[in-house]
Amino acid sequence: MADMSWNLEQELEQGRAPAWPQGGHDVGVLKLLRLRDQMKQLLMEYSAAVRGGETTFLDQVVEEKHIQGVTEDLQTDKEEIEVSFWNKTLALQRIQLMAALRNKMKQDDKDSCLILETVNRIVLLSQAIIKYQQLAHEKKQKLIDIKRKRLSLKKDQRRKLQQIQTMKKKQKKEKGNKNLDEAKMLQNLEKERLMTTVIQNVFQNIIIGSGVNWAEDPSLKAIVLQLEKNVHLP
């Protein structure tokens, strides 16, 4: 098998076509330029291979992380480029479509009339759409204004209710205080009344005890009779 392949090699190398064109002086320069391009290409390939095998990290983990980071960056770049490529294709197709339409319209036969009609109809419909969209927008604005007013009114209402509540609380407190004062006053009054009753009784008893005929003296009579009634205060 090895010999066979070697023999075939020999035959094939002998049978190949001449590689260099036989020629004169200018062709030599061309040859050299071509060789130079080839060597540049080969140099690029070899240096790329060398660069590829160069990254030697001491730590396996760091290298893996580095590779992961680089892979992710490349993936995002790739996706961005794909997206931009698709956008550009779409834009190009749109341009081509418009150019084809324009050419077709210039031809001026019944197809182009149809196209023209359709385009006009499209324009009218778009205008109507724009108008209705504007109306809708205005209505939405009005709705928003009304809602805003409602919100502010609600806020006012809330504030007022809070004010009412605080006032009511104040009033209750004052009433409570007043009640307390009243109760104190009533107590004092009651004390005074009792004292007055006691003094009256003592006065009566003094007049009766003194043995004076109080029925004759009208002033004394008035006093005693008056003093009979217990001082009753409502």
Partner 1 sequence: MAVLRPLDKLPGLNSAALLLVGSDEELQQKLAEAILQEKRDFKISIHIATSLPLPSERDHLRPRIDLIVFVIDIKSKCSLKNVEASLAYVDATFFLGKVCFLVTGVGRVNCCSIETNAICKLGEAYCSPMLFCELELEGVRVSTAQRLLRMLQICAGLVPGFSALSFSLLMRNSADD
Is residue 29 a contact point for partner 1 (CB under 8 A)?
Answer: no
Cβ–Cβ under 8 Å, residues 207 and 214: yes
According to DSSP, residue 216 is labeled: T
Q: How far apart are CA 31 and CA 160, in angstroms?
A: 99
Q: Is 90 in the site for partner 1 (CB under 8 A)?
A: no
Contact between 217 and partner 1 per CB under 8 A: no
Told to check if 41 binds partner 1 by CB under 8 A, we report: yes
Please select the residue that binds partner 1; options are 28, 42, 81, 141, rule is CB under 8 A.
42
Dist CA 176 CA 168 (whole Å): 12
For position 6 contacting partner 1 by CB under 8 A, the verdict is yes
The answer to whether 100 touches 93, Cβ cutoff 8 Å, is no
- Count interface residues toward partner 1 (CB under 8 A): 28
Length, in residues, of the chain: 234
Match 């604005």 to its residue by tokens.
141
The binder of partner 1 chosen from 28, 40, 96, 173 (CB under 8 A) = 40
Q: Does 2 bind partner 1 (CB under 8 A)?
A: yes
Q: Give the DSSP letter string of 20-89.
A: SPP--HHHHHHHHHHHHHHHHHHHHHHHHHHHHTT---S-HHHHHHHHHHHHHHHHHHHHHHHHHHHHHH
28 or 176: CB nearest partner 1:
28
Tell me: does residue 46 bind partner 1 (CB under 8 A): yes
**Site string (47-86) toward partner 1, x via CB under 8 A:** -xx-------------------------------------
Task: Give the residue, chosen from 24, 25, 28, 35, that forms a contact with partner 1 under the rule CB under 8 A.
Answer: 35
* 3-class SS of residue 11: helix
Q: Which residues bind partner 1 (CB under 8 A)?
A: 1-2, 4-6, 8-9, 12-13, 15-17, 19-21, 34-35, 37-42, 44-46, 48-49
